[in-house]
Amino acid sequence: MEPKIFNINRRNFLKGATAAAVLSSFGSYGFELMYRDKPWRVGLIGTGWYGKSDLFRLIQVANVEVVSLCDVDTNLLNEAADLVAQRQRSGKKPRLYRDYRKMLAEKDLELVLIGSPDHWHALQCIEALQSGAHVYVQKPISVDVMEGEAMVAAARYYNKVVQVGTQRKSTPHLIDVKKKIVEAGLLGKVSHVEMCCYFHMRANGNPPLQPVPDFLDYDMWTGPAPLRPYDGLPHKRWWRTFMEYGNGIMGDMCVHMLDTVRWMLDLGWPDKISSTGGIYVQKDGKSNIADTQSAIFEYPELNCVWQHRSWGTPADPEYPWSFKLYGEKGTLSGSTMKADFVPYGDGKPIHFDVLYEKEQYPEDVTEKDIELNAAPATRLHMLDFIAAIEKGTLPVADIEQGHISSASCIMANLSMEARRPLVYNPEKRIIVDDAEATAMLKRDYRGPWEHPMPGQFESK
Domain definitions of the chain by residue range: 5-170+366-400, 172-205+221-358+404-458
Which pLDDT does position 309 carry in this prediction? 98
CA distances from 118 to 114, 244, 272, 407 (A): 10, 10, 25, 13
- pLDDT for the residue 460: 54
Task: Look at residue 5 in the predicted model and tell me its pLDDT.
Answer: 34
Q: Which residues of the chain have pLDDT under 70?
A: 1-35, 459-460
Task: Return the pLDDT at 247.
Answer: 97
Q: Cis link prior to 395 (omega < 30° from 0)?
A: no
Q: What is the pLDDT of residue 10?
A: 36
pTM listed for this prediction = 0.93
State the amino acid at position 225 in one-letter form. Answer: A
Residues 6 or more apart in contact with residue 370 via CB below 8 angstroms: 53, 364
β strands within 14-89, DSSP E? 32-35, 40-45, 64-70
Note the CATH number of domain 172-205+221-358+404-458: 3.30.360.10
Residue 20, pLDDT score: 36
Q: How confident is the model at residue 29, as a pLDDT?
A: 42
How far apart CA 81 and CA 193 sit, in angstroms, is 44
Q: Shortest CA distance to 125 belongs to which of 97, 157, 93? A: 157
Distance of CA 158 to the CA centre of its chain: 22
Which of 167, 170, 161, 181 lies closest to 28 in space, CA to CA? 170
Q: Which CATH number fits domain 5-170+366-400: 3.40.50.720, 3.40.50.2300, 3.50.40.10, 3.30.1390.10?
A: 3.40.50.720
